[in-house]
Chain A
């Protein structure tokens, strides 16, 4: 079973690295999709089936497509950056910060005794249970989430449509 973990992790990491390093934007998105699938696979591995399905449905089905649309609407269709520099100014600073963060997290995790924890028994949470708590104990956050999503939807439409509205 460890092997499953290692394989999936390898896929996920490769997807992430490619998504962040490739020159061609569309390739980046495809790599990102790979990464999303990897994460979903991890969820399945962790017995969180529902989350895995949601992950695919939402990220692959929605977010990735959204990003693709954004690329199509903003870049030259081939999605290549041309010969232009892909790295922004002060990129070394970014890399440095990332490395520092990674090292610190690593150190913290290494030190934490919780980290040695091994899975005990099966943590099963049926969809029904999730639904239960969602509409009983967490109903207020749930509603707030609904409001947030609606607001985001309307906001996105308004922002993106601004120009057409002006044209009318």
Chain B
């Protein structure tokens, strides 16, 4: 396995951009959350790549990834619960319609 680190960084940057794109431009709140998940994964991929290329002290590097995954899980759980609650309230999960917090 002899691809340079930059490949992984590029890959995760690309994935990150894709997720960002979706999260910023899709209309459906669930899809926004999915985009955020993708961004999370791209970041975690970076961490693992750094561990593999020995930029971090092994094995602690993997723990960063594990913690990040756990946080992502919690985040998605809460996020989806919120989406459901919002849907009950507005009968819609369209992020452009949920603007009652506007000042």
Contact = CB atoms under 8 A, between A and B. Distances in A.
Contacts of A109: 6, 9-10, 13
Nearest to B53: A117
Interface residues of B, number: 74
B19 A16 contact: yes
Q: Name the interface size band of chain A.
A: 35 or more
B65 to A, nearest CB: 6
A63 B76 contact: yes
Nearest to A150: B74
A83 to B, nearest CB: 13
Interface of A: 1-2, 4-5, 9, 12-13, 16-17, 19-21, 25, 28-29, 32, 35-36, 39, 42-43, 45-48, 50-51, 54-55, 58-59, 62-63, 66-67, 69-71, 73-75, 81, 84-89, 91-95, 97-99, 101-102, 105-106, 109-110, 112, 114-121, 123, 125, 129-130, 133-134, 137-138, 141, 145, 148-149, 151-153, 155-157, 159-160, 162-163
Interface in B76-96: 76-78, 80-85, 87-88, 93-96
A160 B86 CA distance: 9
